[in-house]
Amino acid sequence: MHKLIRSSLAAGLLAAPMLANAEISANVALTSDYVWRGVSQTLEDPAIQGGFDYAHDSGFAAGVWASNVDFYETGDIDDDGADMELDLYASYGGEFGNGIGYSVGLIYYMYPETDPGVDIDWLEFNAGLSYGPVSFAINYTSDFINSGDDAIYYSLGGEHEINGFTLAAAVGYYDLSDTGADPDGYIDWKLGVSTSFVGLDWDLSYTDTNGDGEDLFGDLADGRAVLTVSKSF
């Protein structure tokens, strides 16, 4: 017990300077459709989302984020029972001397309310580079949706601010060749504009996939406009 008390005090003393140089924030959002890598995660229905973030001056960051989801449906019965996604993530980033930013991190996707015997939680690693308004990232997992298969997502994006609006564009390629998917991958892209108004952040985006995405996911990968209203605290 004494060792435990001493350890707790030591941890508290070490954490004090970390907290002194850190920022904790929260966010909440309402979106017309939760689209992830070009595919609706809510059967094209709206979603309520929110999370908490911790960011330290050293470049370390961590957070938690949640959203309602709805993946598969047979009649009125969900095949997997999942109706919530809970993400835990951590990262470390900084900047090289030549103005190139870097980051490495991981994210753990959890679905705590699936049917008994169903486990679709999985872990993904990521690394990214940025220069000015342009960024490139690679997301890799060796256990895609708890299947034991590799999957890699490559993404390239950029943004430009003009007159209080931010214009953004992104394109990605999801390599699913190790999963046995047919087709073995697909392309998605997104164009959007965002701004702040009446104390809220507004984002209107158009997202779509190529024919391979539609072959894999049907109407859930069709082109669509998505409106998101959010607030950070």
Mean pLDDT value across the chain: 89
Q: Is 19's pLDDT higher than 90?
A: no
The proportion of the chain whose per-residue pLDDT surpasses 90, expressed as a percent, equals 80
Closest CA to 217 of 77, 19, 31, 41: 41
Token pair for 155? 């993404």
- Segment 74-89, tens digit of pLDDT: 444 445 778 999 999 9
pTM passes above 0.85: yes
The predicted pLDDT at position 18 comes to 53
The predicted pLDDT at position 142 comes to 96
Q: Is 179's pLDDT higher than 90?
A: yes
Q: Is 233's pLDDT higher than 70?
A: yes
The predicted pLDDT at position 81 comes to 73
The predicted pLDDT at position 177 comes to 96
| Nearest 10 degrees: Cα torsion 78, 229, 188, 131 | -140
The predicted pLDDT at position 10 comes to 42
* Structural element, H or E, at residue 10: helix 2-20
The predicted pLDDT at position 79 comes to 56
- Segment 103-113, tens digit of pLDDT: 999 999 999 87
- Label residue 12 exposed, middle or buried (CB < 10 Å: 0-12, 13-18, 19+): exposed
| Residues 217/39, Cβ–Cβ less than 8 Å | yes
